Amino acid sequence: MHSVITNDGSKGVLRRRLLAVRSRLTADDIEAAATALACRALELPELAEAGTVAAYVSLGSEPGTHALREALRARGVRVLLPVLLADNDLDWGEDEGPARLAPARRGLLEPVGPRLGPEAVTGADAVLLPGLAVDRRGMRLGRGGGSYDRVLERLARAGTDPALVVLLHDGELLEEVPEEAHDRPVHAAVTPSGVHRFTRRPR
């Protein structure tokens, strides 16, 4: 595991640095990474064998989710997508393909079908979490909005144990990211170069 950015203890500063690196990626870089990510992610049995996966629609320079979502749907996996609520919590809807996505607040794309409720995520076998970096302990650095912290709290309250997976660009696996009391480790990160596990899950 390697680091291209030194952790200075500040989430805000680290976020800005990571976003600056992402901003230099070209459209070709992002497309090539998305294709590789889909192949790599399906090496995880927790994704390849899942019945339901909670995912998200990537935007801009984020590691692309489209190819992976389409591959999962082609395998008969039910894919859920988030719907941002006014309080930054997340509702969920089913991924029915690109034609069934509509623009929403904050430049997001959201499913147009029925809303399934915030608790729908507790039925997922795996959850794809957006992130800017993951460290050697599996601690994730998100964008700071808190939406997925609520998702993780909801999963904990429900007593469910889905695989928690973050998609990253190469170079976003760091030695350490700043950690707060509410932060929870993920089980794996996927980059175009490979799969990186942090906690062992029973099979």
| 99-130 tens-digit pLDDT | 999 999 888 999 999 999 999 999 999 999 99
Q: What is each CA distance from 43 to 85, 121, 194, in whole angstroms?
A: 33, 22, 9
How many helices (DSSP H) and strands (DSSP E) are in the chain?
5, 12
Q: Could you tell me if residue 44 is inside a domain?
A: yes
Q: Average pLDDT of the chain?
A: 91
pLDDT for residue 2 = 41
Q: Could you tell me if residue 5 is inside a domain?
A: no
| 58-89 tens-digit pLDDT | 999 999 999 999 999 999 999 999 999 999 99
Model confidence, pTM:
0.89
Q: Could you tell me if residue 97 is inside a domain?
A: yes
pLDDT for residue 144 = 80
Q: Could you tell me if residue 4 is inside a domain?
A: no
**What angle (nearest 5°) sits at the alpha carbon of residue 74, between those of residues 68 and 80?**
60
| Count: domains in the chain | 1
Q: What is each CA distance from 107 to 58, 65, 84, 157, 163, in whole angstroms?
A: 11, 16, 11, 30, 28
pLDDT at 4 over 90: no
Q: Could you tell me if residue 201 is inside a domain?
A: no
Q: Could you tell me if residue 86 is inside a domain?
A: yes
Q: What is the mean pLDDT of residues 147-171?
A: 94
Q: Could you tell me if residue 133 is inside a domain?
A: yes
Helix (H, G, I), strand (E, B) or coil at 53: strand
Nearest Cα residue to 129 out of 160, 167, 157:
167
> Domain span at residue 81?
11-196
- Report the distance separating Cα 163 and Cα 174, nearest Å: 21
Q: Could you tell me if residue 3 is inside a domain?
A: no
Task: List, in sequence order, every residue forming a beta bridge with 134; answer none if it has no partner.
Answer: 140, 173
CATH of the domain at 29: 3.40.50.10420
pLDDT at 15 over 50: yes
pLDDT at 146 over 90: no
pLDDT at 141 over 50: yes
Could you tell me whether strands 52-54 and 78-84 are parallel, antiparallel, or unpaired per DSSP bridges?
A: parallel
Confidence of residue 193 (pLDDT cuts 50, 70, 90): very high
